[in-house]
């Protein structure tokens, strides 16, 4: 899945993301994990970040999707 340039803060480039990639809110650090979905936003488990509805916002602080950063789970 490819996201347009400038989609995510601090990237400044196109990002290729696995459908199971996790994203972190750049405002409150809430993590969106597609294996869990978002019970507050009624998003079922298995929904990728790219598959979230346009109206979805961070369940922790209501920040827009473009405030989320791709987590590099390989650095650990």
Domain-wise residue ranges, the chain: 1-76
pLDDT at 15 (0 to 100): 56
What local confidence, expressed as pLDDT, does residue 73 receive? 73
Q: Decide if 64 contacts 55 (C-beta within 8 A).
A: no
In eight-state DSSP terms, residue 64 is B
Residue 13 is predicted with a pLDDT of 42
CA 46 to chain centre: 13
Closest by CA position to 60, among listed 14, 15, 19, 29: 29
- As a CATH number, domain 1-76 is 2.20.28.10
Low-confidence ranges of the chain (pLDDT < 70): 1-17, 74-76
């Amino acid at each position: 899945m490819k996201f347009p340039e400038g989609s995510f803060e601090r990237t400044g480039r196109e990002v290729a993301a696995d459908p199971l990639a996790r994203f972190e809110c750049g405002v409150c650090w809430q993590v969106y994990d597609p294996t869990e979905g978002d019970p507050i936003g009624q998003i079922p488990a298995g929904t990728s970040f790219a598959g979230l509805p346009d109206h979805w916002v961070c369940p922790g602080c209501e920040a827009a999707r473009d405030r989320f950063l791709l987590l590099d789970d390989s650095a650990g």
